[in-house]
Structure 1
Amino acid sequence: MLPGNHLHLKDVLQSVSVLESVVLRSFGPEGGQVLFTRDTGQAMLSRSGIHILTALRLKHPVARMVVECVSKHSTLSGDGSKTFILLLASLLRMIHSKACKDTDASHTYNSKDASYAATARHLAEELLAFGLEELDDVIALGVIPYGDRLSWEGYSQKIQLPAHRNNVCAQKLLASFYHSRLGRTHCDFMSNLTCELLTSWKFKHSQPTLFFQFVNDNFPALHTAVVGFPVSCSNLIEGQIIHRDFATPCPQTDKQPAKAVVFLGYLQPKLLNAGEVLELGCGEQEKETSIIQFKAWSERFLASIIANLQCLGVSVLLSAVKQSAALIALAAQADMFIVECVSEDELSLFAQLSGAKPVSDCWTIKPEHVATLTFCRPIVLGAHRYVHVGFHSEESVSIRPCSLVICGLGEGQTDQSAGAIQDAVRMLLTAWEPILNTDHQTHGVPVFESGCVIPAGGTFEFLLNHALLRHGRNCSVSVDTNMGDPAVSQLLANAVLSVPRQIYSHRPRCFLRAQTGLLTCIQNYSHPVSLVHKGDDNSNLMQCQGNSEHPPEEGKGSMHSYRETYMSPKYLMLNLGLESVSCKYQLLLAVLQCISSLLQVDAVLHTHTLLCKQSRRLATISSEGSEDED
């Protein structure tokens, strides 16, 4: 039997606590960068939670399982890896405390371990069931009414923004994201650059999710990393940049119009059918003559292909593979330009933008395979030279194709910026996806609309904590058994507060003031009021110029005084942005699913030890050459 050991909740909590101690160093608006050094001496500096977690050399299978769950969630939503670990550790501690309390009160010493594990597993299952069945209703009632709907055109349900402030809410949402990923210095610049990129790729009369998904799917072909320049040099360039150089002499810049063909195969003559054999002769002289004849015939074939392309007006050939030297020489003589070994992603994007169909048979090239380009020329970015193409614009096309140039002083910085931009697009894609279908509406609960946002800085957690506690009280006095377990609501309500506690860990009094002020404002209003404050261009969200140091009197609280007193820079000293409610909801579900999976594990089998011993034993047997060993 394979050696193994029983997996206790304390072991799981210990592994998650170690991961928590690592990510907390870069968590929140005042978190720092984490420096890693590889065996090669290369250093990596990052604030990205998923980059930090995946860079760790983890041996414990539980830790690797947790990082895998975080990685899957981050790949889908683009955000929340550090908050994932923080919520996971907080929930595990509370499950551990409650399981210990319930076990000590009702079981004997001999049955404590089994009862403890069963209680912990039951709590995890109840939490997951609550998250899947009731959490959306709780958020819809207790959080959504205090947020606002984000619109890519720059307006909300309540206030129409002027044209020069288009996408101001999206910029605030992105700035908050980049603040936690790249730091305070470049967050505004990167948010504006991302908005400009997405606006350029916006399809006419389409939902934001469509062009968000397009940019996310084609991001490897849409961006170019340039090392040796400041981040502020990053910009957008019209057209598409193909990350290869011309195999033939580069075209002249004054020769702007061009027609291109995407060829997926190797241009060569079709010699024989399947099963046929090419005979080159018996003697050496006949064989040499046959080879010369074949060479001349193949050159005539390639020349006919080039002539056919010229008849179609083709002057650029984009090839997925490397072509022969004979073809390149003939193309150079015909003033035709060849780009070899173009990646599949770039060819796919070129085909989508040009409307031309790729071709794999050189004899079947037709006009529908020919793309019209406004220009095709070399471009030098950093230390590399690439091919830069522009597409023929039509009135029916609403997008403005462009490529993103990401600059950085080193490879690590450019890779970090590129990963942050793609994750930001994924975050926006998740933010615009409605949580509930429009035809699904239970108990009169309002539907989760796409693009719902809430001010950052713990506002979502404060509101959800209040809503969960209220839901638990309703469950305890209700005769309806479908309302759920009040203990589960209480446990989740306490766990979500771990996020704002870490945000305000350097200013504990601000945590209490922000929570108290928000609850006072909610209790003094019978109708929901949006917490997303939109002032003039110089004002920040949730920020006023009030200098009051005392909370509003009981019964006199207002949203204005709440912003002035509790959310002013004097107390928070944070440039608060926005957070997506959909991203927060998906994060909570992912954490609850991870906890349920972790607590379903009974034992860990160390198979690698046995395999290593067997490998060493087989190596010994092989080296000794013994036949007597079993």
Structure 2
Amino acid sequence: MCRTSASLGSPPRLWQEAAALAGAVRGALGPRGGRALLLRPTGEALPTRDGRLLLEALSVEPPAARLMAARACSHRAATGDGAKSFVVLLAAVLGGLQAAGAGAGLRRALRDFETQVLERAAARGLRRHLRPAPPGSLEPLLEPYLAGRLGPGERRCLARLGAEMCRRCGPAAAARPRVLRLLGRRFAELHAAVPGLPLASSRLLPGIILRRDFAAYCPTDGELRALLVTEPLRPALTAPGVEFVVDSEGQYQASQRWITRRTEALMKHLQSNNVKLLLSSVKQEEVVIYYAKLYGVSVVECLSSEEMALISEITGVSPYTPVGDNMDREITETAVVTFCQSLLLVSKRCVHIGFASVCAFQPHCLVLCGPVDGVNEQHAAALQEAFIMLQQLFKTADQREDWKAEGESQSKASDVCTWHSSATQKQLVIENTCNTNQVSECQLKALSDETEGKIFDSDKSDLLVHNQKKHSIPVLVAHYSDTVTACECLDVGKGLEKTCFHIVPFKQEESCAGIAQDYSSCLIEAGSVLPVGGYFEILLHYYIQDYAKQCQQSEVTIVSKVVADALLSIPKALYGTAERDGFTKFYLEAINLLRKNQPLPVNNEGLESVYCKYQLVISVLHCVTELLSIDLVIGIRRPLQKTEDRDSEDDT
């Protein structure tokens, strides 16, 4: 039994669903946004401004709306920011397309707009206004980012803690991108939440905190050696799959004595190799704990696989595996431990260990305090995503090779790109309507994985390619030549300095060919920032309108006007809770100054990564193209039965 719904990809219906999502999150956008009170199934009430949590709490049922929420959460996971802005901008673009009455060539026009107008507006207009992040700029970047999620007192404290954690974990500025990648991936293991205390009590400690107590503790001074194990150290009587038969009590006692002797010999061997600490992912037998205490070896057991992976990554040590009867071989896979002690966090006893790192990352752990567990979870999630956001600062958005070469050889008169592609294949989205009353994180991820192109994890690779089939997109690359310069600009050891620079426009009569030669390498350089508060949207809006005039395709011109106007929806929402007519004054003043080639006024509210903002626009355009490609939705009430062809006697 199934039901079908046709014409789902029509702009009016898509706009209505996107507008409903945007209406739910718009009030929480920006530093002046409000909070929503989420009621968890456990009865806990959690005030939040987190876009991902808000979208999941909406229990979206329509398939297209679920796809929009999934795309917003997917963009948030990749860049650490922008779930609410994604939905607001998406609704504005769909609303503009619906009002413009775009025709059947809309999907092609969206792709042509990206190459003919958007990339040129960014490379030859927006890029002129960008500035590198000045020294001491982590807190100016972190505080406005956290302002969209937390209260004023919380964001200042967490911005200070986050900047200090980056500085201590990555003392070398050139290693900052690798340090941020590790912080983004492993923050769950690099912080300990302590409920019942104010946020101001949070502290940054050297080393890492293991959420276990010692199974055996033998105090020792100075450096010691630690061994990682992932299997029981108590020797087995037989090999796996071999049956061991005991015929008498004497045989049983003899086997136990053999196990005891073997365990004692192993501990002696560890002691002779200067191993004073065992870190185990499994629970060890009592005989192992007994002889560990006897020979001065501390034991921490039942560590999680994530904690073991973090220790291996920091120290470069692989887990130890005993090899049969060979007890005399030297143990080389040991980690250097600078200190090992017990730590009491309120009522829970943990293990505090300092490791000598073999990489650029210097391990530090954040003790994150908060009144209740729910607040601690929000603070931890905000910091982890802030580290993911900071990673984007070191990335560079490259231009497309086809029009880059064209811009170097042609003049402004021939500044129209011809980009050809095959017709977009119609997509068929199959929805399971059995449980459509909830939108969980797993559902959003599954939906995202089914219908979106692969996104290579920036934590595992220095190359981030957002590759969607049938789409035009700039290649987004983290260039290490630019990274060093950006890292030097982000040195937080010199203290916080006031960020003050002017946004200077360029002369319109400058030739496009000359501009293309100046900026033929990339759209956005690593470390590029702009002041927060709508400057990116105003600048891109202005230059999209300017470059749209050069386009010779009417549908691309319509799309350009729609996207340019839609960009203003974000600063409109930001200024919506400020003074009356605040956005109108800001917009008119900025546009008049741009037309006169005069510097724009700059606020002191902080900075934001231009790469993140540009990637948001790209992701929204791809989502619109994908939504317009949906022609049919099939709802399946029960899983399809797998049939098998069987030969019967009647067939012979």
CA–CA distance in 2 between the matches of 1:414 and 1:320? 26
Is contact 1:354–1:371 with CA below 8 Å preserved after alignment? yes
Moved more, 80-89 or 189-198: 189-198
SS in structure 2 of the partner of residue 5 of structure 1: strand
> Which deviations, in whole Å up to 9, do the C-alpha atoms of 1:432-469 show, x marking residues without a partner?
20011799955243232101111111111111111011
Q: Which residue of 2 aligns with 1:463?
A: 539
CA–CA distance in 1 between the matches of 2:382 and 2:555? 39
**Aligned to 2:244, which of 278, 292, 296?**
278
Is contact 2:314–2:359 with CA below 8 Å preserved after alignment? no
Moved more, 512-521 or 372-381: 512-521
Is contact 1:66–1:594 with CA below 8 Å preserved after alignment? yes
**Aligned to 2:576, which of 490, 505, 510?**
505
Is contact 1:204–1:399 with CA below 8 Å preserved after alignment? no
**Aligned to 2:133, which of 150, 162, 179?**
150
Q: Which residue of 2 aligns with 1:86?
A: 88
Tell me how far 1:588 sits from its aligned partner. 0.8
**Aligned to 1:171, which of 133, 139, 152?**
139
SS in structure 2 of the partner of residue 386 of structure 1: strand
Is contact 1:224–1:405 with CA below 8 Å preserved after alignment? yes
Does residue 594 of structure 2 align to residue 522 of structure 1? yes
Tell me how far 1:389 sits from its aligned partner. 1.0
Q: Which residue of 2 aligns with 1:592?
A: 621
Does residue 284 of structure 2 align to residue 328 of structure 1? no
Is contact 2:11–2:97 with CA below 8 Å preserved after alignment? no
RMSD: 2.6
Q: Which residue of 1 aligns with 2:30?
A: 28
CA–CA distance in 2 between the matches of 1:205 and 1:513? 40
Does residue 376 of structure 2 align to residue 408 of structure 1? no
Structure 1 residues 38, 372: closer, same or farther in 2, change over 3 A?
closer
Does residue 278 of structure 2 align to residue 312 of structure 1? no
SS in structure 2 of the partner of residue 606 of structure 1: strand
**Aligned to 1:181, which of 149, 162, 170?**
149
Q: Which residue of 2 aligns with 1:378?
A: 342
Is contact 2:234–2:287 with CA below 8 Å preserved after alignment? no
Tell me how far 1:337 sits from its aligned partner. 1.3
Tell me how far 1:513 sits from its aligned partner. 1.9
Q: How does 1:131-150 map to 2 (within 5 A)?
A: 131=114, 134-150=117-133
Alignment length, in residue pairs? Answer: 521
SS in structure 2 of the partner of residue 317 of structure 1: strand
**Aligned to 2:550, which of 449, 456, 474?**
474
Unmatched 5+ residue regions in structure 2? 408-514, 642-652
Is contact 2:175–2:360 with CA below 8 Å preserved after alignment? no
Tell me how far 1:61 sits from its aligned partner. 1.7
CA–CA distance in 2 between the matches of 1:510 and 1:14? 27
Structure 1 residues 428, 597: closer, same or farther in 2, change over 3 A?
same
CA–CA distance in 2 between the matches of 1:39 and 1:512? 43
Q: Which residue of 2 aligns with 1:224?
A: 192
CA–CA distance in 2 between the matches of 1:230 and 1:468? 47
CA–CA distance in 1 between the matches of 2:174 and 2:50? 32
Tell me how far 1:180 sits from its aligned partner. 0.8
Does residue 608 of structure 2 align to residue 576 of structure 1? no
Is contact 1:475–1:484 with CA below 8 Å preserved after alignment? no
**Aligned to 1:239, which of 203, 207, 214?**
207
Q: How does 1:92-107 map to 2 (within 5 A)?
A: 92-99=94-101
CA–CA distance in 2 between the matches of 1:257 and 1:294? 37
SS in structure 2 of the partner of residue 13 of structure 1: helix
CA–CA distance in 2 between the matches of 1:270 and 1:132? 66
Return the TM-score normalized by structure 2: 0.75
Is contact 2:533–2:571 with CA below 8 Å preserved after alignment? yes
> For the pair shown, which has the larger CA radius of gyration, 1 or 2?
1
Q: Which residue of 1 aligns with 2:389?
A: 427
**Aligned to 1:603, which of 623, 632, 639?**
632
Structure 1 residues 122, 361: closer, same or farther in 2, change over 3 A?
farther
> Which deviations, in whole Å up to 9, do the C-alpha atoms of 1:364-396 show, x marking residues without a partner?
774421222121111112332111111347xx9
SS in structure 1 of the partner of residue 189 of structure 2: helix
**Aligned to 1:51, which of 53, 68, 79?**
53
The letter of the residue matching 2:364 is: C
SS in structure 1 of the partner of residue 153 of structure 2: coil
SS in structure 1 of the partner of residue 105 of structure 2: helix
Tell me how far 1:92 sits from its aligned partner. 0.9
CA–CA distance in 2 between the matches of 1:234 and 1:147? 35
SS in structure 2 of the partner of residue 265 of structure 1: coil
> Which deviations, in whole Å up to 9, do the C-alpha atoms of 1:341-362 show, x marking residues without a partner?
1112222222233343321336
Tell me how far 1:611 sits from its aligned partner. 6.2
Is contact 1:128–1:589 with CA below 8 Å preserved after alignment? no
SS in structure 1 of the partner of residue 525 of structure 2: coil
Tell me how far 1:251 sits from its aligned partner. 3.8
CA–CA distance in 2 between the matches of 1:583 and 1:92? 21
The letter of the residue matching 1:401 is: P
CA–CA distance in 2 between the matches of 1:485 and 1:58? 32
Is contact 2:49–2:149 with CA below 8 Å preserved after alignment? yes
Q: Which residue of 1 aligns with 2:165?
A: 197
Structure 1 residues 269, 5: closer, same or farther in 2, change over 3 A?
same
> Which deviations, in whole Å up to 9, do the C-alpha atoms of 1:82-116 show, x marking residues without a partner?
000000111111111122xx6xxxxxxxxxxxxxx
SS in structure 1 of the partner of residue 612 of structure 2: helix
CA–CA distance in 2 between the matches of 1:275 and 1:41? 49
**Aligned to 2:567, which of 471, 475, 496?**
496
Tell me how far 1:133 sits from its aligned partner. 6.0
Is contact 2:341–2:352 with CA below 8 Å preserved after alignment? yes
Is contact 1:357–1:368 with CA below 8 Å preserved after alignment? no
CA–CA distance in 1 between the matches of 2:31 and 2:47? 17
Q: Which residue of 1 aligns with 2:332?
A: 368
> Which deviations, in whole Å up to 9, do the C-alpha atoms of 1:538-559 show, x marking residues without a partner?
xxxxxxxxxxxxxxxxxxxx53
Q: Which residue of 2 aligns with 1:451?
A: 527
Structure 1 residues 270, 611: closer, same or farther in 2, change over 3 A?
closer
CA–CA distance in 1 between the matches of 2:537 and 2:560? 13
Is contact 1:176–1:578 with CA below 8 Å preserved after alignment? yes
State, as a whole percentage, how many aligned pairs show the same letter. Answer: 29
Tell me how far 1:314 sits from its aligned partner. 1.1
Tell me how far 1:136 sits from its aligned partner. 2.7
**Aligned to 2:78, which of 76, 98, 102?**
76
Moved more, 193-202 or 363-372: 363-372
Relative CO higher for 1 or 2, CA cutoff 8 Å, sep ≥ 6? 2
CA–CA distance in 2 between the matches of 1:294 and 1:133? 79
Is contact 2:314–2:361 with CA below 8 Å preserved after alignment? no
